[in-house]
Amino acid sequence: MWDLATHSLDVAKLRGASYADVRVMHLRQRDLTTKNGQVGTLAQSESTGLGIRVLAGGAWGFASTDRLTRDGVAACAAHAVSIAKASALAKRRDVSMVPEAAFIDSWQSPFQKDPFEIPLESQLALLLAADAEMRRSKGVTLTETDMQFRSIDSWFASSLGSRIHQRKIISGCGIVATAFQGDEIQKRSYPNSFGGQHVLAGYELIESLDLLKHAPRVGEEAAALHSAAQCPRLTGTLLLGGSQLGLQIHESVGHPIELDRVLGEEANFAGTSFLTLEKLHKLRYGSDIVNVVADARIAHGPGLGSFAYDDEGVPAQCTDIIKDGIFRGYLSNRETAKLIGLERSSGTMRTESWNRLPIIRMTNISLKPGEWAYDDLISDTDDGILMDTNKSWSIDDRRYQFQFSTEIGWEIKGGKKVRMLKNPSYGGITTEFWNSCDAICSAKDWALWGTPNCGKGQPMQTMGTGHGASPARFRNVQIGTAFSGQ
């Protein structure tokens, strides 16, 4: 792989590139699903190829190939330079980047059991058993389960002299029970909605989640929601579970801090951003206890946004995004960092595959834990509503006004959970919402949640991100109705 990478860089230089970087990637994936006791998906695939990005004439060019021969990668490199020179004819300015050192390194994400070494039959048997357990609950009409595994090897080389090999193992799974009654649909998911939980780990993740243990509860709660009280419409106290708060972070913090969106260079799938440059270091994003970081280091946890180096060869870093409530940082690459006067990229360039151009992506965007014990948070709340497990979300293209609904809610009276609520929802304005936060649970209840399906770019790239959160409390929130924006 290194010979092919080096050869492509040499050709790019000979053709006139002033800078080039190349990624050779081998991707392997396995997907399993069941539906109402029947096998839904049973698929495994592999892909290998090379993508090269070059700078020539002050503009970018990119090309990719799966023809991994010397002639194949040479033609690919030459094509990338041709694209760059053509792009230079329409450039608004010369591309300029902040400096970065060269690195020679190898890294592998931690795991105990390679999921690709576990027989498909064993994995499928577990899903079918969990499916059957959910169907035991009277009233459940649809049961679904899934497992996903990814193995990603990448060999990165640049004209700066970097040579970096990284290998990731990603595992994830989840179960869902849905109950139809009349014209109403209720569902419950475990350990999270939209595919469950996903992290950098091996098959040990699946074993730790104990799907069979939780399947009966999931089915029972889906059916019970039909008899639950409707979530009231009010302005009041909202408590969010960690998984829902993780998605709140993703949508109202993670996307608006992407610097390419702020600068108007990217708007596909998630729009632009309200976090214009004059707000940096000045905007009160949240209350004093709100601290958010973008942390790609494995020390932060085995999140889907964890790595050793990004796809520009920049080492993983921890960047303050919100510190003591004040907006402090963006997600940048070497080019956008230069544009706004930063000394270094925050290391967030990532690509879905060898045939996609690296773009700025979220890493692990996490709310730091507070000091509250979960039981104390409940007992300290006289009148409120606890919501957990996302059902749907909507947010405007500047990431400012939003509405979320969750699968389940619980009414809190006198410091106790008193009854289940169905169809819970809440809405607000991003900065008002985060400024209303007055309590965050401690590290004991903090978890790093995986979002495996974040879309961005054109052509669209799907990337995994991580969001650490523990349950938190927010005051004076609009609950139980679509946010009117008034």
Q: Are the C-beta atoms of residues 12 and 54 closer than 8 Å to each other?
A: yes
Question: pLDDT value at position 306?
Answer: 98
Percent of the chain with pLDDT over 90: 97
CATH of 2-227, one of 3.30.70.20, 3.40.50.280, 3.90.226.10, 3.30.2290.10: 3.30.2290.10
How far does Cα 236 stand from its chain's mean position?
Answer: 29
Residue 399 has pLDDT above 50, yes or no: yes
Percent of the chain with pLDDT over 70: 99
β-pairing, 461-469 with 447-456? antiparallel
324-358 confidence digits (pLDDT tens): 999 999 999 999 999 999 999 999 999 999 999 99
268-318 confidence digits (pLDDT tens): 777 899 999 999 999 999 999 999 999 999 999 999 999 999 999 999 999
Report phi then psi at 218, rounded to 5.
Answer: -60, -45
Question: pLDDT value at position 288?
Answer: 98
Enumerate the β-bridge partners of residue 135.
none
The CA distance from 313 to 104, in Å, is 10
Question: pLDDT value at position 268?
Answer: 79
Question: pLDDT value at position 308?
Answer: 98
Residue 482 has pLDDT above 70, yes or no: no
129-186 confidence digits (pLDDT tens): 999 999 999 999 999 999 999 999 999 999 999 999 999 999 999 999 999 999 999 9
Question: pLDDT value at position 384?
Answer: 98
Question: pLDDT value at position 485?
Answer: 36
402-415 confidence digits (pLDDT tens): 999 999 999 999 99
Q: Compute CA distances 278 → 143, 271, 328, 381, whole Å.
A: 49, 19, 11, 37
pLDDT band at 486 (very low <50, low <70, confident <90, very high): very low
Q: Are the C-beta atoms of residues 351 and 48 closer than 8 Å to each other?
A: no
Close Cβ partners of 381 (under 8 Å, ≥ 6 residues apart) = 237, 239, 412, 415, 473
Q: Closest Cα partner for 433 from 462, 388, 403, 391?
A: 403
pLDDT band at 484 (very low <50, low <70, confident <90, very high): very low
- Domain edges within the chain: 2-227, 229-479
- The radius of gyration of the chain from alpha carbons, rounded to an integer in Å, stands at 24
Helix/strand/coil percentages in the chain, nearest 5: 25, 40, 35
Q: Compute CA distances 473 → 15, 240, 387, whole Å.
A: 58, 7, 11
- Mean pLDDT over all residues of the chain? 96
Residue 416 has pLDDT above 70, yes or no: yes
245-273 confidence digits (pLDDT tens): 999 999 999 999 999 999 998 887 778 99
Enumerate the β-bridge partners of residue 309.
315
Region for 285 from its dihedrals, namely left if φ exceeds 0, alpha if ψ lies in -120 to 50, beta otherwise: alpha
Question: pLDDT value at position 46?
Answer: 97
Question: pLDDT value at position 168?
Answer: 98
Record the tokens describing residue 172, joined without a space: 């994830």
